[in-house]
Amino acid sequence: MYHKDANISQNGVRCKNIYFFLNTTISLDNIAKKEIYILAIESSCDDTSAAVVHNGKVLSNVVSSQTEHINFGGVVPEVAGRQHILYILPVIDEAIRQAGISKEEINAVACTVGPGLLGSLMVGLSTAKSLAMSWGIPLIGVHHMHAHVMAHFADDPIPSFPFLCLIVSGGHTLIIKMDDFLTVQVLGTTIDDAAGEAFDKTGKMLGLSYPAGPIIDEMSKKGKPIYEFPKAKLANLDYSFSGLKTAIMYFLQQELSKNPNFISDNINDICASVQHVIVNTLMEKLIKAITSTGITHVGIAGGVSANSALRQALIDASIKYNFTPHIPRFAYCTDNAAMVGVTGYYKYLERRFDQLDLKPSARMDLLQL
């Protein structure tokens, strides 16, 4: 059965030509109808997620977060891929059920293609391809970091362009400038570890479970930033967090040699100090980007944008530097399919469809939107 909008059987299009046909005809039809439903899939790391987005607004967003990695200090790729296989179909079913629509109403399937863990991406993308093919609707590949920024366009008020955004996740730390929904320019990036990695690796040294970011955030609320850690000094808008990781390791070794209970005795202050230096480092470069570009709509996105100190720091800076701050709701900070669906919607409007031979990419340039 082909999707009702595809009209493929009526035109007698052969299988190998379907994709070309989909790219040219369906979209115009549905854009004219102005009722666009996107089914979105996200499986780039350890969250299996599906969402339904209607005309750019989120109807449902189901996330199944894998707990199997908690004691490993990081995501185990092989385990992540296997768990996605178990959860992907129930999660999609639930997203469609919660959206209160029928499968026949879906106009396109959007899916994260990268960057991420290859085995994890493959599960989501293969499922998306199968659904697009069997329902006769377009496939839309989405860049994971683009999706994180697009989380800002899920709720009103949306940012105005140009929009400056700090994207901070477990694998990336980027300052980007967005000139429209689909045009992104990278102004700065990390030359080594990501900010989320700095949180997670510190957590591992402190004996906290993975992901440590939210735990450090909570513990920091009960502590004070009394320990000083060095900040990397790079001249441009780039970041570096690997030196901080080493400094924390030597600091802990030194203190533990004097007091074997140093970590448990001072865990809240250690967390507050680490969070303080990470947030300050992130904000310093973001402020540099704001003052050098003069952009007045500025946001944060990605898993680390759930951090309470970073959220507060952006609000404080907006008063001092006179810009409009944009902070996504918590559910759209860490990995979720809603942000993929919103991105998919704006790509749909531009008819940016993909062929069914689309391949997942572990590494992916943001220019490859």
- Options 31-39, 54-62, 131-139, 205-213: segment touching ligand KG4 (CB under 6 A): 205-213
Q: Does 74 bind ligand KG4 (CB under 6 A)?
A: no
- Options 19-27, 33-41, 90-98, 169-177: segment touching ligand KG4 (CB under 6 A): 169-177
119 is in the binding site of which of Zn ion, ligand KG4, none (Cβ under 5 to 8 A by kind)?
none
In whole angstroms, how close is the CB of 302 to ligand KG4 at the nearest point? Answer: 4
In whole angstroms, how close is the CB of 259 to ligand KG4 at the nearest point? Answer: 27
- Spatial separation of the C-alpha atoms in residues 37 and 58, rounded to whole Å: 10
72-109 in b/e burial notation, b at 16+ Cβ within 10 A?
Answer: ebebbbebbbebbbebbeebbeebbeebebeeebbbbb
Are 157 and 84 contacting, i.e. CB atoms less than 8 angstroms apart?
Answer: no
- Spatial separation of the C-alpha atoms in residues 297 and 295, rounded to whole Å: 6
In whole angstroms, how close is the CB of 144 to Zn ion at the nearest point? Answer: 6
Q: Does 336 bind Zn ion (CB under 5 A)?
A: no
213 is in the binding site of which of ligand KG4, Zn ion, none (Cβ under 5 to 8 A by kind)?
ligand KG4
In whole angstroms, how close is the CB of 132 to ligand KG4 at the nearest point? Answer: 24
Residues 211-270, interacting with ligand KG4 (CB under 6 A): 211-214, 217
Answer for which of 64, 200, 313, 337 binds ligand KG4 (CB under 6 A) is: 200
Are 124 and 89 contacting, i.e. CB atoms less than 8 angstroms apart?
Answer: no
Identity of the residue, 281 or 336, whose beta carbon is nearer to Zn ion in the bound complex:
336
Residue found by looking up tokens 């570890």 in the block: 193
Q: Does 306 bind ligand KG4 (CB under 6 A)?
A: yes
Which one-letter amino acid corresponds to residue 124? G
Answer for which of 169, 173, 202, 343 binds ligand KG4 (CB under 6 A) is: 169
214 is in the binding site of which of Zn ion, ligand KG4, none (Cβ under 5 to 8 A by kind)?
ligand KG4
Please choose, from the candidates 7, 365, 312, 6, the residue with its C-alpha nearest in 3D space to the C-alpha of residue 189: 365
- Tell me the two tokens of residue 256: 């533990």
Backbone angles phi, psi at 365, to 5 degrees: -70, 145
Please choose, from the candidates 147, 164, 196, 139, the residue with its C-alpha nearest in 3D space to the C-alpha of residue 296: 164
In whole angstroms, how close is the CB of 103 to ligand KG4 at the nearest point? Answer: 28
Q: Counting Cβ atoms within 10 Å, is residue 165 exposed (0-12), middle (13-18) or buried (19+)?
A: buried
- Spatial separation of the C-alpha atoms in residues 261 and 291, rounded to whole Å: 44
Answer for which of 56, 119, 171, 299 binds ligand KG4 (CB under 6 A) is: 171
281 is in the binding site of which of Zn ion, ligand KG4, none (Cβ under 5 to 8 A by kind)?
none
Are 5 and 30 contacting, i.e. CB atoms less than 8 angstroms apart?
Answer: yes
- Spatial separation of the C-alpha atoms in residues 148 and 156, rounded to whole Å: 16
Q: Does 335 bind ligand KG4 (CB under 6 A)?
A: yes
Residues 169-198, interacting with Zn ion (CB under 5 A): 169
Q: Does 170 bind ligand KG4 (CB under 6 A)?
A: yes
Identity of the residue, 41 or 212, whose beta carbon is nearer to ligand KG4 in the bound complex:
212
In whole angstroms, how close is the CB of 19 to ligand KG4 at the nearest point? Answer: 29
Q: Does 303 bind ligand KG4 (CB under 6 A)?
A: yes
Q: Does 304 bind ligand KG4 (CB under 6 A)?
A: yes
- Options 10-18, 88-96, 134-142, 304-312: segment touching ligand KG4 (CB under 6 A): 304-312
Tell me whether strands 297-301 and 324-326 are parallel, antiparallel or unpaired. parallel
In whole angstroms, how close is the CB of 328 to Zn ion at the nearest point? Answer: 12
Please choose, from the candidates 95, 123, 120, 124, the residue with its C-alpha nearest in 3D space to the C-alpha of residue 111: 124
Please choose, from the candidates 232, 212, 186, 334, the residue with its C-alpha nearest in 3D space to the C-alpha of residue 275: 212
Site residues for ligand KG4 per CB under 6 A: 45, 169-171, 196, 199-200, 211-214, 217, 302-304, 306-307, 334-335
Site residues for Zn ion per CB under 5 A: 169, 335
